[in-house]
Every structure is written in structure tokens, then in C-alpha cells.
Amino acid sequence: MISVTLFSLALLLARSANAATQLDLEAIQAHFTQALIVPALIPTFDPTAVLSAAFSGAEASTGKHMDQKAVGPKPVVTVSSVQDSSLSGNFTIAMVDADVVGTDYGADGVNRHWLENGVTISDGSVSDTSANVITTYAGPGPASGSGPHRYVILLYAQPSTFSAPADLSAPVDGVHKFDLNAYVKDSGLGALVAANYFTVEVGTDSTSLPVTSAVITSTLASAQSSAGPSGSHSGSASASAPAPSNPPNNAVAVKIEMTVAVLAAGLSLVLL
């Protein structure tokens, strides 16, 4: 029994390390909603892959506070999908400053820190060797005391009908405002395949931000269904999960919740 338990856990852990699961997708989706990035920055978000950004080897996991210096150079971006077929063709990658929770972007839009058309994905890694670099990656530089800014990295499918608007068809370096959604619509970009975000704060936060709720991964649909119909095992696992203390973007709490969800799933597999 114990060896079976360990085996199922190992299987589940190996799975989650290599390929995105439905639960991973739901977790990132829930993060974007709880951080109010959806619908403030992007109207909807229904990812088919999980995007990871590593800065000099340091993973910028969802919502994580990153040191400004560490995120200065361009990250290595990897993408893992539930179905690998969704990762062929051309893509557009962008990073924007979604500013603090509750920001109204108004007509000017958001600061663009990165924009490349025609990136491709090879073995799960985003490659820009044949990309059309419009805005070279520019690291975060939030004003001191302006609070934790959310830097959102977005990967859009770029169909062959894509046509860059005149003002962004040639390189425009430096950080400038643009209307992300208008750009996506006018250029004919496809689905937002994957996105992720990290936060950078400089100086002491003098703002008072709206409170956002934490993501409880064990309550997401996939965690519920993989924990089985009986509910009692998953129920007790969920109930014993630590209630996350509630700063926005609490990545550590989510990691714990993910672990609890995986454990609950493993346990129920054994019990079934």
C-alpha cells in the first residue's frame, strides 16, 4: 500500500514537473482573476499552456516578488501545454507593466516593456532567433514608492494573417504606453495561449491597494474532480490546508495549496 502511494505520488509529481496539467491552467487562470489582471488588463484569459520565465536561472513564479536587478536582463521563457500541438507556428511575446492592483489604464494603455513578433517554440522553449523584435526587452523600473507593479508576460498565437499596425511594424525601443487590446485586435493576433506575471516593487509602498483574494488551488475544478466523487478524502485534505495569509500574489501559499492538492489526488488514487 505504501509503495503504491509513493508510486502514485511520484507519478503525479513527475507529471506536474514536465507537462502542464488542467489544474496548472486553472491555477494560473485563477491567479489572473484574483490579481484583477482579468478583466482590468485583458478581458478574458483561457490559457492552453503554462508560461514560465526564468531570470538568470531564478524562476519568476506566478505573482512572485522579484528583485529589480534580477529581472533586468531578458528572461528565458518556456511554455508547456496540455496538448503539444497548440505550440506550433508563430507567436508574439510581450511584457507590459500592469501597474498596481486596481489601476485604471484609461485611454493611454499600459507601458510596453517587450514586444517580439514571430517567435517560435522549440522543445518548450521560446526562441526569438528568427523573430521580428519590435521592442527589445526593457527590465522593470517602477517609480519608488509606487507599490508592487505586476509585470505580465503574454504569448499570443500569431496567425499568417497577422499584420502589425504601422506604428509598431518597425523597432520602437524604450518603454512606451500602448493599448494592448487594441494592438491584439487590430493586428489580427490569435488566442492568448499563455501568460504569467511577477511583481517588482521599489522603495516603500505608500499606496493603499484593494485587497485581493488568494487562490486556493484545491478548490479548483480539476482538483475537485481528480480527488474523486466521494469527497470525504479531498474534503478533509482541503479543510486541513492552511488558510493562506492574504497579501496579493501569495505564491508561497499557492505552492503549499498545490502540494496539498497533489497529495489529495495521490491519496484518493490509492483509496479508489
Ligand X SMILES: *[C@@H]1O[C@H](CO)[C@@H](O)[C@H](O)[C@H]1NC(C)=O
User: Considering beta carbons, is residue 90 or 250 the nearer one to ligand X?
Assistant: 90
List 18, 85, 129, 160, residue binding ligand X (CB under 6 A): 160
- Per DSSP, the three-state class of 63 is coil
Q: Which candidate, 99, 102, 161, 95, places its Cα nearest to that of 128?
A: 95
What is the nearest approach in angstroms of ligand X to the Cβ of residue 205? 42
Q: Across-strand partners of 195?
A: 154
CA distance 114 to 55: 15
Instruction: For residue 188, state whether it binds ligand X (rule: CB under 6 A).
Output: no
What is the nearest approach in angstroms of ligand X to the Cβ of residue 184? 17
User: Considering beta carbons, is residue 164 or 214 the nearer one to ligand X?
Assistant: 164
Cell numbers for 156, please give them: 499570443
User: Considering beta carbons, is residue 129 or 160 the nearer one to ligand X?
Assistant: 160
Q: Which candidate, 79, 57, 53, 67, places its Cα nearest to that of 197?
A: 53
User: Considering beta carbons, is residue 164 or 261 the nearer one to ligand X?
Assistant: 164
CA distance 266 to 272: 10
What is the nearest approach in angstroms of ligand X to the Cβ of residue 90? 4
The answer to whether residues 145 and 205 touch, using CB atoms and an 8 Å cutoff, is yes
Q: Which amino acid is at 149?
A: H
What is the nearest approach in angstroms of ligand X to the Cβ of residue 33? 31
Instruction: For residue 90, state whether it binds ligand X (rule: CB under 6 A).
Output: yes
**Contacting ligand X within 95-134 (CB under 6 A):** 118
Instruction: For residue 161, state whether it binds ligand X (rule: CB under 6 A).
Output: no
Residue numbers at the binding site for ligand X (CB under 6 A)? 89-90, 118, 160
